[in-house]
Every structure is written in structure tokens, then in C-alpha cells.
Chain A
């Protein structure tokens, strides 16, 4: 058999395995495939050993290929999901600041949650959204949802569906339009925020279901930001937290906390330092922080294990890469 045949056979084997796993899960041949502790440790040792072997090969002048790095990162991120390891995420100063602000929200207060992200950023921001809204619902805090990104309100609906199915929140018999409302998406970026400062209704004449604004008891007497007690912004880019701070906070005095993707969190720290933002959650670790603070661990905490493994693998490869670089430079100098 030539190489091509092996590739075809390998592809067929992989597809067959996927079909078997898919069918097996559906007919409940197995619950899940979590590793026992000894297997988790064995896997970690094997990966560490193989990376040490790569380092040795690099020193010998045979650097690893880029595809090897991709493979190791993929393994480092996938396998920990099968392990029963947990990681304690220390709470950052900014995360604690956000939570302290949340604790000051009184029952019955109206909170504006702006969903300014789309599905690609959901792994980081969806756990934050769920944790925050769960906290609100458990304490009878009213939630008004809007979105400056088209898919934002849809992400909000996914979070709402999950939360309303939880026993503790289901028992509260929350009523749409009274305890929470989704006003939907509005295009216009920062101009929407500017206009909301004087008139919410002009930007959201109806909610995402088409119910007129005035018919919704929760927002019927909310004219502008002065009717909002706290705002939480979930942002993955533009328009997002920066626009909310520049207009909502600085111009209209909104009290605001934020959850951002890790990419843009560093850019928001000056706003936290100056007090414009009352705390911020950054990326997956921010999601894990709020889950820990609200005492309900979810996907944020679960994913931090895989995140940490991924980081460790990358750090090792950075070291290996630097070793390769300096050896290469030395060889060049000798030559």
C-alpha cells in the first residue's frame, strides 16, 4: 500500500470512529469518556516527556515543525476536558471591584445588560453573561437586555433559556416584561448610546418580539439612563465597552461594569484605574472569577484547566523556540 492509501484508510478510520462515538452517545452506550486520575497523570507525563524530546532534537539541530506546535496545542487544550482536574482562579482586583459593585445593587433595581458580541466570542463572554444574570434573577434584580451587535440579543436568549430552566430560578416564576425583557438589536453603534441618553424608546420602539415599548411594564417608565441603576456591558470589539464608557458613563453618568474578551481587556484598564469603569472581567479567567465569586462554577471554571494547559505548552514552545533561535545565531556567527 502506498502513502495515499494509508491516508485514505486513516481518514476512513477517523470518520468511522466519529460516527460510532456520535451514535454511541445518542443510544447511551456510554455517559462520557472522562479519564480516571491515573490516566490523567500518565497523559500529562507523556506530553511533558515528548516536549522534552522535542527540546533535545532542537538542540541537536532538528527544530520542530510548525504543524507539531499546532498538534501539541490542540492536544493540550482538548485532553484536559477529559480530566477531572480543577484549577483555582485567583480573583483579580478588577474582578473583585466589579463584584463589590454588583453587591450594592438593591433588589428591585433595574440593570441594563448590553450584549455586544457574537458567537465566536461566546466561550469567553457567555459564562459571564449567565453568571451575572443568574445573580440578578436570584436577588430579584430586573434585567433589561439590549444589543449593539446583531447576534447579541440572540446570545442573550440562549443564556436566558439556560437560566430559566434552572430549578432555583424556575421556582421564582419570572415573568417576561416584568422581571426581564429583551429589547433586541439596534444598529447605529455609538449613536444608539448617544440617543438612549435622552430617549430609550426612540431606539427601541419595540422589543425583539415586536411588543411595543410602552406595553412592557419593566421599561414603560424608563425614559433614559437615569432610570437605570446599573449597567453591565459584554463586549468583543466595536461597538463595545469603550463607546459605552465614552458616552454612557462620561456623558450620562451611567454606573457600569464590563466583561470583555481578553484581547481588549488591557485597553480598558485605564478606564478602571480612573474610575470610569466600576470593575472589569477579562476573558476566560474573568468568567471563572465571576463564577467563583457568585459561587456557581460553570464552563468558565471548567475551561480554565484546558486554558492553563494550553498556556503551559505555549510557554514551553517559546522556550524551545528561543533555544533554536540562539543556537541558529551561534551557528551563523561561527560560519
Chain B
């Protein structure tokens, strides 16, 4: 039921009078509220319906999927003045002109509510009910509002801009590499050791063990590991060294077999290739490493490569490889596993060095270009962080407004919501 505005005002005046009277009464010294609050006052207060909320406004949330409408209101005068009279607010909604149903509650003092159960394209009307022990008061209904969805979230414009710059750099450098221009990548320690390690295995007549991680082909580290496998396979095809590659994902087995086969073909040794070089063990993490440990201890590979994404099995493998005296070359971008490889292996490609090594060895334009493009991204991030840190430090330490503004702009630019 909608209350007319005039009726609302006269009730408000009544309540103001009551409130002022009560305040005068309370101001009398040495008399506490609990001593003077008679049961008749309480009864009177409890039976008077409350004043409704006012200025109820519904707005469609911007840059969403049409699934949220935000409501704001000015709380009931009874909420502000007579503490504890308002027990709750209830929010009612009508969907596409249908019956009004309760969609949520708010506690006394609240002046907002987010309705996240709306559907895109539907029209909604709301009202809020203020509740007391004695009654309820409905607010005026909002105008009909359609939950809209937007195509573009402009809050993320800087995310788009920076992403566009980095992606554009990647594309630019890929094209540059394709045109034959040499792209500089700094020397990576550990890469020279790859060929030496393969040579050692050949001299000792023992196989090479290659583990390309324990994750699937959707992990970019696995792809980097398989790319380096291509280089390693070409070398071992030339040297006629054996390779053993247990894998823990069937897709990786497929990709690895193709890679090794292609390398043997390129080396002119297709007859020397065998599918048995790569075998699937199990998806189970510790089952896989138990099998790898068994292979290491029994077949005693001279060289072990661990290049890809690893979890807890990394230390177990590296420790066993160390105990059999193999040369171990590792590379992973898992920060939690790098410590073990650094400690137990002879050479470790740390983090992005794995991808750099993959690009360096394959000389593939896409990988080289991606690496250079990422460097652009790193340069932007580094520059922004240095400028931002200096600006916010100087701005806040010496209260320099210009610096504070720069820092504030940078903070808001890098916010993603």
C-alpha cells in the first residue's frame, strides 16, 4: 500500500514532537532512561507504525551481465531518531509486472541493498518496507527499471590498453622475427650444459631421462619442455643415444612422440625412432614419481632433464637423480619447486628462463617474438612501479599534491574492477 506524501509528513511532525518531549525528559539529571521509561510510553512507542524509507532509488549496475540492480534509500526517520525502533527493512520486487515478492533484508542503519538475482532484460519495480514491533511502512515504489548488460566494461579500459600494447609488441616482434631479423636474447646459463650433458650420456653409454613435467598440454611450461625436447631429440638422434621419457598425461605422450619422431626424421634417422622411448605411466602424482625413481635406480641414466611444471614430486626425483650421480638439468616456472631443483640439480633454468631457453633453442619466430613482447610488458610494469612508488612516497611523506595525484592515477589505472 502506498502512503501519500502528506500523510507521511504529518506523522513525521508528530514523531518529532514526541522525540523532543522525550529528550527534555531525558535531560533531567540523575534520572536514567530505564527508571523513567514507563510501560505506557513503551506501549505507545511500540504501537505507532514507523515512518517509511525515503528517496528510494534503483539503478542498474554498470558493466555487468544484467544480473544486478543496486538500491539506495534514506533510512526511516525512526531508524535515526528512536534507537532500536526499526527492527529490519525488507526489500520487495516485482518481476516484469508480476506479483511483488521479498528478495532480501537489510538491518537497521542500512541504506543500500544489491539485488543480484535479477535476469537480463527483465523489468523490475521495488519498494522497501520498514518494520517495527508495532507495524510496517512501505516506501514509494521505484520506477520500472530494466536490467541491462553492457558489451564493454569501461572500468577495465587501462587493462585493455596495457594488454593491447603488450599483445601488439608480441605481434610486432613475431613479425620482425619472421622477416629474418635477429632478435637479441641474453645468454642463459645452463643452456650450454645441455649439449655437454647429452655428450656425457653418449660417452658413458647410458640413457637420458627426460621428464617434461607432470601437467597436461594446456600448461605452457609443458609446451616449453616439449619444445626443448625437440632440440634434445635432434642431438641424441645425431649421437645415437638412448632416451627414456615417462609421462603422466596421455596428451603429453602423444605430443612427445610426435616431437621426437620429427627430430629423428630431421636428423635423417627415422629408423632409429621407437614409440617405446615415450611411455605413459599414471596420472597419479606420487605413482608417477615412484615409477620414475624405479627407472632411475635400475637404468641409471647419465643425464636427467626436468623441464616443465612440477609439484611435490620434484624433490623426490631430483634427490634420487643426485644419488645415482646423474647430471641434472632442470627448468620450471613453479616458484615452490625451484628451491629443490636449485639445490639438487647441476643447472636450473629459473622461471621465465625456461621459456627463454625454449625460444632460444627452437629459434621459432613465435617464441622469440613472445619473449621480446613480454619484455616490453615487464618494462612497462617496472617503469610504472618505480614512478608510482617514488610519487606516492614523496607525495605522502611531504604532502605534495602533484605527486599524490600521479600515484592516485596509477593506482586507479591498475585497478581491474
Contact = CB atoms under 8 A, between A and B. Distances in A.
Most chain A C-beta atoms within 10 Å of own C-beta, residue among B215, B285, B323, B336: B336
A194 interface: no
B185 interface: no
Nearest to A225: B116
Interface string A243-268: 00000001001000000000110110
A240 to B, nearest CB: 10
Interface string A263-288: 11011000000000000000000000
B295 interface: no
B335 A250 contact: no
Interface in B288-338: 311-312, 323, 335-336
A264 B323 CA distance: 26
A120 B286 contact: yes
Nearest to A198: B65
A250 B416 contact: yes
A238 interface: yes
B219 to A, nearest CB: 9
A33 B214 CA distance: 42
Interface string B36-65: 000000000000000000000000000001
Contacts of B416: 250
B94 to A, nearest CB: 18
A11 B215 CA distance: 40
A269 to B, nearest CB: 11
A267 B116 CA distance: 33
Nearest to A226: B116
A201 B8 CA distance: 45
B311 A237 contact: yes
A250 B417 contact: yes
Nearest to B219: A238
A223 interface: yes
Interface in B195-232: 215
A331 interface: no
A66 interface: yes
Contacts of A263: 311-312, 336
Contacts of A237: 311-312
A221 B101 CA distance: 14
A105 to B, nearest CB: 15
Contacts of A238: 215, 311
Contact of B336 (A250, A253, A267): A267
B93 to A, nearest CB: 14
A126 B286 CA distance: 19
A15 to B, nearest CB: 24
A237 B114 CA distance: 34
B117 interface: yes
A66 B116 CA distance: 60
Contacts of A221: 117
A267 B335 contact: yes
Contact of A223 (B65, B117, B215, B323): B117
A224 B116 CA distance: 9
B168 to A, nearest CB: 24
A266 B285 CA distance: 21
B323 A66 contact: yes
A223 B336 CA distance: 36
Contacts of B336: 263-264, 266-267
Interface string A206-230: 0000000000000001011011000
Nearest to A263: B336
Interface string B388-417: 000000000000000000000000000011
A120 B65 CA distance: 40
A226 B117 contact: yes
A237 B337 CA distance: 12
Contacts of B114: 226
A237 B313 CA distance: 12
A262 to B, nearest CB: 9
A224 B68 CA distance: 12
Interface string B343-364: 0000000000000000000000
Nearest to A66: B323
Nearest to B319: A66
Report which residue of A66, A224, A250, A264 has the largest number of chain B beta carbons within 10 angstroms of its beta carbon.
A264
Nearest to B311: A237
Interface string B101-121: 000000000000010110000
Contacts of B117: 221, 223, 226-227
Contacts of A253: 417
Contacts of B286: 120
Contacts of A250: 416-417
B215 to A, nearest CB: 7
A168 B189 CA distance: 61
Nearest to B215: A238
A244 to B, nearest CB: 16
Nearest to B334: A267
Contacts of B65: 198
B343 to A, nearest CB: 11
Contacts of B285: 120
B149 to A, nearest CB: 12
A122 to B, nearest CB: 13
Question: Which of B65, B114, B116, B323 is the most central at the interface, judged by chain A CB atoms within 10 Å of its CB?
Answer: B116
A179 to B, nearest CB: 20
A224 B114 CA distance: 14
A54 B318 CA distance: 26
A221 B114 CA distance: 16
Contacts of A120: 285-286, 312
A226 B114 CA distance: 10
| Most A CB within 10 A of own CB, among B65, B312, B335 | B312
A266 B323 contact: no
B335 to A, nearest CB: 5
Contact of A266 (B67, B215, B335, B417): B335
Nearest to A250: B416
23 contacts: A66-B323, A120-B286, A120-B312, A198-B65, A198-B67, A221-B117, A223-B117, A226-B67, A226-B68, A226-B114, A226-B116, A226-B117, A227-B116, A227-B117, A237-B311, A237-B312, A238-B311, A250-B416, A263-B311, A263-B312, A263-B336, A264-B336, A266-B336
Interface of B: 65, 67-68, 114, 116-117, 215, 285-286, 311-312, 323, 335-336, 416-417
9 closest Cβ contacts across the A-B interface? A226-B116, A263-B336, A237-B311, A264-B336, A267-B335, A267-B336, A223-B117, A263-B312, A120-B286
Given A198-B65, A238-B311, A266-B336, 8 more contacts: A66-B323, A120-B286, A198-B67, A226-B117, A237-B312, A238-B215, A253-B417, A267-B336
